[in-house]
Structure 1
Amino acid sequence: MNKLKLNMIHTTHTIRVRYAETDPMKYVYYGNYAAYFELGRVELFRSIGISYDEIEKLGIWLPVSDYNIKYLKPALYDQKLEIHTYIKKIPGVRIEFEYEIYNEEKIKITEARTTLFFLNSETNKVIKCPDFLMELIEKNWKEEEL
């Protein structure tokens, strides 16, 4: 059987669920997933050669305009989680991230997507993906099998 091949950027980051992130059932409280996905985005940018802080210092903000999540199974206190973060489309004025979270048993427990847009911090206007970031994205774009 042929595997599907996609061009994308993909990173994986591992975290351990802290007690403070859970509810009384020791499930990760649903609001904490947004922070996990932000961590995934930050680490993805770092993996292609730029930190979130550097992007902001160059006058670009990246506010979230859309956030969709599907909870498949709960994440539990003290579990080690793998956060997979993807960029599967070349950005324009928006950049889309897709996420998958896997537990220690390698079972996918969450899927999500966020859309952010590029905002010039001085003019407060939406802009296209800046050249410095587009160059890093294109340099790191690769084919992966799914």
Structure 2
Amino acid sequence: MIIKKYICIEKQIDKEMIHTKHCIRVRYGETDPMKYVYYGNYAEYFEVARVELFRSIGMAYSDIEHRGIWLPVSEYKIKYLKPALYDEILEIHTYIKKIPSVRIEFEYEIFNSKGEKITQAQTTLFFMDAEKQKICRCPDFLTELMLPYFKS
């Protein structure tokens, strides 16, 4: 894939999962004195990738919230393979590999500008009815957007 500037968003439909790619450039303020991305910033990268995944299937994250659904993170697991460096373009692959129920699981891989996988991670979020402050199942409007991506 040729990256024009540093913005790339790609959606893949393969009837087994939802898969998107999103590119970002590492900013100076995201790095430590060694010019490595500070470990705490990866959570924000993954949040951006999740938001873009939802947008790519037809729903902005803000629309989900306006419909009364919140998605708090309940688990976060990450493995750092190599450092991400200042001014580097990172390509974040985001996956949903199964249809959600009360939880939705995301997997991520980050590749550097050389195409090397430098990070892998997973997050689990749960669906919450914002008004009742109670866990709920994935709402039908989201399930309907996701179903075409999975084998029947």
Structure 2 counterpart of 1:65, one-letter code: S
Count the aligned residue pairs.
138
For 1:96 and 1:51, locate their aligned partners in 2 and report how far apart those are by CA, in whole Å: 18
Asked whether 1:114 is paired with 2:123, we answer yes
Deviations 1:39-97 (A, max 9, x none): 11000000000000000000000000000000000000000000000000110000000
- Whether 1:63 aligns to 2:69 is no
Give 1:119 shift.
Answer: 0.1
Considering only aligned residues, what root-mean-square deviation do their CA atoms show, in Å?
1.2
Give the whole-Å Cα distance in 2 for the aligned partners of 1:32 and 1:6: 32
Ranked by relative contact order (alpha carbons within 8 Å, sequence separation 6 or more), the top structure is 1
Instruction: Show the 5 A alignment for 1:10-89.
Output: 10-89=19-98
Identical positions, percent: 70
Displacement of 1:142 in angstroms is: 4.8
Which one of the candidate residues 98, 102, 106 is aligned to 1:93? 102
TM-score by length of 1: 0.92
Runs of 4+ in 1 over 6 A off after TM superposition: none
**Cα distance in structure 1, aligned partners of 2:57 and 2:150:** 12
Distance across 2 between alignment mates of 1:59 and 1:6: 29
Letter in 1 for 2:91: E
Q: Give unmatched runs, 5+ long, in structure 1.
A: none
- Tell me the equivalent position of 1:129: 138
Alpha-carbon distance in structure 2 between the residues aligned to 1:112 and 1:126:
24
- Secondary structure of the corresponding residue to residue 98 of structure 1: strand
